[in-house]
Amino acid sequence: MEPRGKASRNYLIKFKSKEKREEYNKRIIQRVGIDVNKNSILNIHKIGVEAPVNYVFNELLNWNGDSTCWPNHVAKVERVDDKIEEIRILPFGWSKYPFKFMKSFFGLNLIPLFYLNSIRIKQVPDSFDFDNARYILYQSSGGYPIGIFTMYVRSSIAELGEKEHSQLIFAVSFNFMIKKKVQISW
């Protein structure tokens, strides 16, 4: 990853076709146990990291948003009781509105933007996993309407043109209608 202040790289994964994007998204959400028939990923980013998968995942377990790949200046991460299992995302780091008379912004409650509550933390890959995958899967609730957020780490796959030792993938499933809960399969 590049240090702060340098020209940023675009980590959004680009696909040659809609079908390739859907295929890739389905592979990710199947790996984290989300029902592919009822959910889809709207936004997915991938970062190649020159470190072993277990090292990258252990760094995620200590994640507090203070990194070059998280926009902490816009949406600050706050771990509830210092646990990775429960996180609040605060706009601009505000834990309350900057003006005493404000209770919301144009009728919208923006503090917190949303909560992330872990559904599953997979610290050890299954014995049959060829790519050494580990992940943290969150259900989102509260203000901003997203469905799930996952931080997924795996070994690089040469056939996909990945050169670095590990791949860190951030995926977000938006649920704008908030009609259904995310369907988790075990």
12 found inside a domain: no
CB 96 within 8 A of CB 66: no
Residue whose token pair is 């994640």 = 63
96 found inside a domain: yes
Average pLDDT over residues 125-139: 89
Q: What is the pTM of this model?
A: 0.77
CA atoms within 13 A on the CB side of 81: 4
DSSP letter string over 116-131? EEEEEEE-S--TT-SS
Q: How far is CA 160 from the centre of its chain?
A: 21
141 or 151: which leads in pLDDT: 151
91 found inside a domain: yes
Average pLDDT over residues 111-123: 88
- E-strand ranges in the chain read 43-49, 75-79, 86-91, 114-122, 134-141, 146-155, 166-174
Q: What is the 3-state secondary structure (H, E, C) of 81-119?
A: HHCCCEEEEEECCCCCCCCCCCCCECCECCCCCEEEEEE
104 found inside a domain: yes
Q: Domain limits at 145? A: 18-47+54-174
Give yes or no for residue 70 having a pLDDT over 80: no
DSSP letter assigned to residue 26: H
180 found inside a domain: no
Q: What's the confidence (pLDDT) of residue 11?
A: 59
11 found inside a domain: no
Q: Residue 105: which pLDDT band, with cuts at 50, 70 and 90?
A: low
Average pLDDT over residues 78-91: 89
Q: Is the dihedral of CA 72, 78, 82, 87 positive or negative?
A: negative
118 found inside a domain: yes
CA 160/CA 145 separation, integer angstroms: 32
Number of domains into which the chain is organized? 1
186 found inside a domain: no
Give yes or no for residue 89 having a pLDDT over 80: yes
Q: Residue 186: which pLDDT band, with cuts at 50, 70 and 90?
A: very low
Mean pLDDT of the chain: 77
Nearest to 116 by CA among 83, 86, 155, 95: 86
Give yes or no for residue 184 having a pLDDT over 70: no
